[in-house]
Structure 1
Amino acid sequence: MIEGMEAEVLAAVVASPAVLVTAAAAYLAGRAQARAAHRGPVDSVRRAAQRDAYAGLLAAARSYAHQVSEREGRGRAAEEWQLRPRPEDTEVERHHVLCQVRYYVDLEALRGAVAVVSLEGPDQVVLSAEEITRRVETFRSTLWAGMFEETRGNVESVRLRNERAHVAHKALLESIDLFVAEARAYLNNYAQR
């Protein structure tokens, strides 16, 4: 023992660093727990917003893909044809009307949904959402060409355009499936964090 020091004072001096370390550890653990308690509900709300954005895009993309499908388009084109019958009832003319009906399907819901996903992120999901937009534009450019290049009466050209539109529509459907896979993977990984 150190001369002149009481045993109680010596015990307090020796224990002080241990008490300080324990107090600091308790303080840091409390802060981390408070941060996690605050972040938990915020993360939950953010995840719900992302899930809603992804679901909105999926619904808009599937709706658009259905509306522009050849089968659906043919039904609307037949209705359109009944409203304005023409003397030149040819395959080329009917294809022209089909391209018009499919081309002029409204894109605003799809564009709005892609914008919301772009805000919510993350990047890999945004990229797959933007791929849907690119596939839609490819599909529309195929239809646009079908509306204006088919006026020459070339039936073989009509068949070629139909095939190109079919391939572009299939690529659109594949991009929707890719988006679903990316969104699902992100949301599932998010839940595991």
Structure 2
Amino acid sequence: MDPAVTASLISAPVTVVAAVAAFAAGRAQARGAHRGPVDAVRRQHQRDAYAAFHAAAQAFVDASEWYYNSGRATERLESTGQHFTIVDWLILSLDLVHEAPLTPVLQTKSVVELEGPDEVAEAAATVVEAAAGVLSAARHGGFYGPSLDPDPMAIRDAAEDRRDGCRTAHAELNTKISSFLRIRPRGTSVQRLALRTIMVG
């Protein structure tokens, strides 16, 4: 066989393989170039979601804090100029704790669930559960009233139990928020991701 023909037959498969490899590499590079901006946008959406959820959760923490609300209760009762008892003060303080806004926490948690990943969404769910626990502890529903229990000391004891429950639930909420912030999707903590959004914004 002509040496030139033999050489061409040998080199032809090599050329085809090289062409296929180059085509595959080009497609992979194109996909990577397209995926890069998409991933960047997704990461930004995740950072925004984390920051919004943390802000809502922290606002709830501040609004449901016992000492903050007991101070508000004192000011409100004193402003009436009328005599009030320790039970009046306890009950109003509990009412004010129960007014803390949970809806923004629920709304921003839904966005975190959409953005993911699962470990962050699950941690956000535990924060919401803990926040609901604070409201549940503050809900005195029905233990206060002479028709239900005419013993003032029993009423006071029940109110103080609720107060203590609020404090415990509030401490648990802070723990859950700290755990949420320590999660490290893609090797970076949620806290740092959220701070980046705040600083850029």
The residue number in structure 1 matching 2:117 is 122
CA 1:40–1:75 in structure 2 vs 1: closer, same or farther (change >3 Å)? same
Matches of 1:150 and 1:177, distance apart in 2: 35
The residue number in structure 1 matching 2:168 is 167
CA 1:47–1:86 in structure 2 vs 1: closer, same or farther (change >3 Å)? same
The residue number in structure 1 matching 2:56 is 60
The residue number in structure 2 matching 1:148 is 142
Which structure 2 segments of 5+ residues have no match? 190-201
Alignment TM-score, normalising by the size of structure 1: 0.86
Which structure dedicates a bigger proportion of its chain to helix? 1
Tell me by how many angstroms 1:76 deviates.
2.0
Tell me which moved more, 128-137 or 73-82: 73-82
Which structure's CA Rg is the greater one?
1
Which structure 1 segments of 5+ residues have no match? none
Matches of 2:85 and 2:71, distance apart in 1: 17
Tell me by how many angstroms 1:156 deviates.
2.8
Three-state SS of the structure 2 residue aligned to 1:149 is coil
Which residues in structure 2 correspond to 1:7-22 (within 5 Å)?
7-22=3-18
Tell me which moved more, 165-174 or 7-16: 7-16
How high is the sequence identity, in percent, across the aligned residues?
A: 31
Tell me by how many angstroms 1:90 deviates.
1.3
RMSD: 1.8
Alignment TM-score, normalising by the size of structure 2: 0.83
Which residues in structure 2 correspond to 1:10-89 (within 5 Å)?
10-84=6-80, 86-87=82-83, 89=84
Matches of 2:133 and 2:47, distance apart in 1: 27
Deviations 1:120-170 (A, max 9, x none): 11111111111111111111111003x532444333333322211110000
